[in-house]
Each structure stands twice: as C-alpha cells, then as structure tokens.
Amino acid sequence: MALLVQKFGGTSVGSVERIQAVAKRIAASKEEGNELVVVVSAMGNSTDELSNLAKAISPNPPQREMDMLLATGEQVSIALLSIALHELGVNAVSMTGAQVGIVTESAHGRARILEIRTDRLKSRLENGQVVVVAGFQGTSFSTGGTAEITTLGRGGSDTSAVALAAALEADKCEIYSDVPGVLTTDPREVQNAQLMKQISCNEMLELASLGASVLHPRAVEIARNYGVLLEVRSSWSDDCGTTLTSDLKNSIGLQGLELGKPVDGLELLENQAVLALSHVPDQPGIAAKLFEALSSGGINVDLIIQATHEGNSNDISFTISQNALAEANKICEELIKKLGGKLSTQNHMTKLSIRGAGIMGRPGIAASLFEVLSRSGVNLRLIATSEVKVSCVIDASLGTKALRSVGETFELTEDQITINPMVAGLGEPEVRGVALDKHQAQVSVRKVPDKPGTAAALCSTLAENGITLDMIVQSERKHSDGSQDISFTLNKDDRKRAGNALIPLLAQWPGASLEDGPAIARISAVGAGMPAKIGTAAKMFRALAQANINIEMITTSEIRTSCVIAEADGTKALNVVHNGFNLHQNI
Ligand code: ADP
Ligand code: ASP
Ligand code: MG
C-alpha cells in the first residue's frame, strides 16, 4: 500500500465528462490499495473567467478580494469530484485549504506555504476515505486574528500537491495534466516536442521559471528540497510520464515549509578573465560567428552577456578561464578586424556564486547578495542570475573578503562553501529542453552611476515591492559623464509597479531615466551538461542566425542560455533552437 498525492489540472477536470473520467482513474488507484490525497485545480479556464469578472468592475481590485474570489474555483471542482467519486461507490471527502490547515504567509495572490497540518488529513485517510483537497489556496492569520483565504499564485495547485506530499511524507506525488509529461518544449508551440523520461529538479526549476508552464516552479523547489518523488503524467493515458530526480532530502524545518533557506551553497571560481567586445554590429549572426570561432579554438566560455545600444551596435562580454586568454584574445582581434568593434580584456577576475532553489522567485535573495558585496566595496563586473544560481564576476583581490561576507549573510557552513569546484555536468545532455517566455518586458535604466551599490539599489527597491528583475546586463559603455546603463527584463505585469517603485531611486541619480525596449520574447535553452560542453551557446546563436533572427540581449547562467528577441520571432525561434539541438529526434 502506498500513500499517493495525485493532482489533476484545470483541463483534466474541465467538464462533467472529464471529472467522471478522473474519478474512474482515482477509483482504480484506490482499488489497487493506495491511500489517496487528490488535489484539483479549478475547472478549465474558470480562474481566468473569475479574474475577468473582477477586472470588468475594477482595473485594480483589492488582492484580498481577488483571493476570496479565485479560491471559489477550486471549491467547485473538489465538490464535483467528490460527488463523482461517491457515484462510483468511493468514500471521498472534499476539503478546502483552510479545512485541511494549509497555513500560508499573508501575502495575498502569492502566498508561500508555512505549514500543512496533517492530522485532519491522516484521520480521514485512516478511515479509508479519499481526500479531495482544493489546490492553489490556503489560509493565513491576519494581525487581527481572523483567518484569511490566500492563494499561492497562478498555477499554484502543483505547489499545493507537492507540499502536501512533503508534509505527509507520501511515497509519490503524481501531477496529471493534458500532456504526456515534461516535453523538450511546449507542444503548443513546437509540434515535434518529445517526452523526457526524466529530468533533474534543477533543470526543471530553470525551465519552469523560464516559461515551461507544465509545472509551477515552487512545486519543483519543494520536490528538490524535501526529496519528493515527483512524476508528471497524462490524465488521458496510463503511459509512464516524466520522473523528476533530486538528491536532497531535507526535513521540514522550523522556518516553514516553503521558507526554508533558499541558498545552500557558495562557490568561488578563481583565475577567470573577462573579454568585452564593444561597438560590434547589431545584426543576425555576429554572436554565432564569435562563439563558433572560440569553440573551434577549444575555448570553453562560461558566462555570456550581450546588450544592444542605441539600436545599432552591440556590446558582448564573456568569461573564460585565465589560461585561455591569449588564444581568445587572438580570435577576438581577428574577428573585430573583419566586423569592426573594440576589444578590452580583464585578467585576475573571480566568479562568486550562490546556489540554491527558487532564488529568482525570491527577489530579496539576489538583492541581498548585491548589497553585501557593495557594502564590502566590491564592484560587480558581470552579473548572471537564474533560479538555481546567481553569479557575480569581481576583482580577484576582493574574492576572499567577498566570500566571507556572503557566507555570513546567508549563514552558510564551511561544508557548503567550495573553492574552485570541478566542472559540473559531465555526461549530461548539453540541452535537455527549451522554453519560450512571452510575458517578459525589457527595460533600461539610463545614466546610472558606475559604482558599487547601483545594481544592489535597483534590485532591493524592486525586491521590496515583490518584483524580480531578470537578465540584468550592466553595459560596457560609459556616457561622457562616466555613468552607464543597466538593462533588465521583468514580468510584463510588474512593469507599471516597477516604474512607480523606482521613481525615488532614480531621483537620486541626476539625469537617470527609465526607458522601455521594444516588445520582446525570451528564449532559453537548459541542460545540466552545458558547463562541460564547448560550443553550446554558439549552436543556439547559429540556429537563430540561420533563421535571420536578431538577438537583442544574451545572458547565461551555469545550466542555461537565454536570448531576448523580437516578440514576433518567438515561436519561430523556439522551433529552430529546439531542432538545432536535435531535440525533435526521439530521446
Ligand atoms: P494544468 O491545468 O494541468 O496544470 P497547465 O496548462 O498549467 O496544465 O500546464 C500544461 C501545459 O503546459 C501544456 O498544455 C503545455 O502547453 C504547457 N507546456 C509548456 N512547456 C511545456 C513542456 N516543456 N512540457 C510539457 N508541457 C509544456
Ligand atoms: N486555478 C489556478 C490557476 O488557474 C491554479 C492552478 O490551476 O494551478 O492558476
Ligand atoms: Mg498548471
């Protein structure tokens, strides 16, 4: 007998017939002798429909009332599924988040789970009942002591399910959806997307936060942190889906189920060099040429950052190991002779990185990293952000000092700190999946001071307002007054709030202003084998160049490469990159 948590998404319970089909599935699993906790989402698009009703009344409805409204969607589906189970003779009981005791923070619309009381669930399971729990919702206690209904954020039923599995120490959490499992990319965009048999939680965390909506990133974070065995499967067939793997098995700490320490590692990689090409032409194929030439020279490029300037030229910076500097210099010099542009290099650099899960999902983490570095007087030469790792390239002479302050800030122990780690990902695929995010907007802050603390100030101001900024690029170029530009992408829905939040900060920097870029899409490739393989980024840039797609921005992290492109090119880009890595061939 196994204890299983099974989650059925909106499409899977989108009609009476589908609810009946899901009930049959559950009945069969119960018949096999399993103990079952079932989590369901609201039927079909009902969360969107409820949301639209509110928007028809107010452009800016109070978040508390939105939670009150949206939580009703799941209440409908748990009751209907329970009724369907009773019809099949299965003893089932529906429970809301509050009835179970899913206790969350009070942040309406994006509450994190603090605790799940398991006693009420366990007593029903002991009675042989199937418990049908409303996903996406919980309850918090307001300062006045009144219980408030909260929601976890769109797509949050996955998180409810995995959190229940962690709290109950279930044998497995099965996520049933309208796809056969996790595919190499979104099958709605790319017809020949293929099913993956398995994927690591770190890769899935990156993909999920970069647009692969099949799993809520926070669900993957919980699976990773508490070692929940997670499977994604089709609601319509009995085929095996995708298994997510993780080596960690933390116990749920006192800090709260979803609030456990998000940073669990710190690394210093010494002997790095930064090469910066500026004023190179802004046209398809430039990045491909550069990184192909480096790859043919056997040079393993680590971080890559590119931003477009004044619409007609690019600055591209990248890091390599110091001992490849002479060769890389030669290759770059030859290239700029043909293409135009300027080259500058910096030796004796160090890369400092924090590791964890859900780092970008908690905007305060990157902000506190940048803050502690700026307080120690460390200027950030390059920044690379991602869901599982944030890296800063800094002057080598400040490495040890930076390591100490960052370690203290994130309360890391000696064994969580590594100096010059081995290259990760040997034997793993360089790209396991690709994702498209159409919900990002590109923004530049013009004329900010070039001194420690600028990136930290931007990040903290946005973090205080719950806004994550992604793909941060500090430009190579300086204005005549020595100031520089910082570009970043953020979720479109946060753009207006970000503008308002930044007003007081920008007022402190004379001449600074916020500028919107053109409509963009972001395409990302993710693979655990990326650090160990030479030329992965070059392949992605070549695939885009062959389709005549211009790259406006590039950022990378350890296991991902992301490019910002024109919004209209999104689907085409996803297809060419997917096929460029041969992901369409059965894996
Ligand atoms: P549910 O309602 O079951 O939670 P979602 O709509 O949230 O379903 O997630 C499933 C959808 O995610 C699929 O229909 C698919 O279009 C999309 N998707 C995006 N990327 C991927 C991917 N890599 N693998 C599978 N599905 C994906
Ligand atoms: N019903 C919620 C939504 O549509 C939660 C979910 O489906 O996971 O976002
Ligand atoms: Mg979903």
Residue nearest to atom 9 of ligand 2 (CA): 154
- Residue count of the chain, please give it: 587
Q: Whose CA is nearest to atom 6 of ligand 2?
A: 155
The pLDDT of residue 454 is: 87
Taking the CA of residue 73 as reference, the ligand 2 atom at the shortest distance is 1
Measured between alpha carbons, how far is 463 from 113 in angstroms, rounded to an integer?
A: 19
Note the pLDDT of residue 557. 93
Is 520's C-beta closer than 6 angstroms to any atom of ligand 1? no
Please work out, in degrees rounded to the nearest 5, the angle formed at the alpha carbon of residue 582 by the alpha carbons of 577 and 586.
Answer: 130
| Tokens of residue 280, six digits | 């190179």
Cβ–ligand 1 distance for 47 under 6 Å, the answer: no
- Indicate the top mutation candidate among 40, 136, 177, 213 to test ligand 2's pocket, ranked by most ligand atoms within 8 A of CB: 136
DSSP string covering 450-477: -STTHHHHHHHHHHHTT--EEEEEE-S-
pLDDT of residue 140: 93
Give the C-alpha separation, 373 to 392, whole Å.
9
pTM: 0.95
Which residue of 159, 185, 213, 577 sits with most ligand 1 atoms within 8 Å of its CB, as the best mutation to test the pocket?
213
Q: Closest Cα to atom 3, ligand 1: which residue?
A: 9
Residue 212 Cα to ligand 1 middle (Å): 7
Nearest ligand atom owner, CA of 159: 2
Q: Which residues of the chain have pLDDT under 50?
A: none
179 lines ligand 1 (CB under 6 A): yes
> Which three-class secondary structure string do you get for 119-182?
HHHHHHHHCCCEEEEECCEEEEECCCCCEEEEECCCCCHHHHHHHHHHHHCCCEEEEEECCCCC
Of all atoms in ligand 1, which is nearest to the CA of residue 155? 7
Ligand 1 pocket, mutate which of 177, 232, 235, 432 (most atoms under 8 A from CB): 177
Residue 155 CA: which ligand 2 atom is closest? 8
Distance 224 CA to ligand 1 centre (A): 20
In a mutational test of the pocket of ligand 2, which residue from 40, 41, 152, 216 has the highest number of ligand atoms less than 8 Å from its CB?
A: 41
Question: How far is the centre of ligand 3, averaged over its atoms, from the C-alpha of 10 (Å)?
Answer: 7
Tokens of 20: 């009946």
Amino acid 586: pLDDT: 66
Tell which atom from ligand 1 comes closest to the C-alpha of 433: 23
**Rounded distance between C-alpha atoms, residue 304 and residue 512, angstroms:** 26
Which residue has the CA at smallest separation from atom 4 of ligand 1?
A: 9
Domains defined along the chain, listed by start: 3-245 (3.40.1160.10), 263-580 (3.30.2130.10)
pLDDT in tens, 83-134: 999 999 999 999 999 999 999 999 999 999 999 999 999 999 999 999 999 9
CA distance 146 to 251: 30
Signed CA dihedral, 20, 21, 24, 26: sign only: negative
185 pocket-lining for ligand 1 (C-beta < 6 Å): yes
CA of 157 to the centre of ligand 3 (A): 7
Q: Is 242 in the pocket of ligand 1 (CB under 6 A)?
A: no
Evaluate: CB of 177 within 6 angstroms of ligand 1. yes
Residue 45 in tokens: 């698009």
Q: Which atom of ligand 1 is nearest to the CA of 176?
A: 3
Cα–ligand 3 centroid distance for 337 (angstroms): 50
Q: What's the pLDDT score for residue 587? A: 61
11 within ligand 1 shell (Cβ under 6 A) = yes
Around ligand 2, the residues with Cβ closer than 6 Å are 9-10, 41-42, 47, 73, 135-136, 154-157
41 lines ligand 1 (CB under 6 A): yes
Whether ligand 1 lies within 6 angstroms of the CB of 316 is answered as: no
- The reply to whether ligand 1 has any atom less than 6 angstroms from the CB of 476 is no
pLDDT at 520: 94
String of b and e for 62-83 (b: at least 16 CB within 10 Å)?
A: eeeebbebbbbbbeebbebbbe
Cα(154) to ligand 3 centroid in Å equals 8
| Cα(447)–Cα(316) distance, integer angstroms | 19
CA–CA dist 396, 350 (Å, integer): 5
Hey, what are 61's tokens?
A: 């409805």
Ligand 1 atom closest to the Cα of residue 175 is: 3
Ligand with an atom nearest the CA of residue 97: 2
Ligand nearest to the CA of 13: 1
Q: How far apart are CA 582 and CA 587, in angstroms?
A: 9
Mean pLDDT taken over the chain: 93
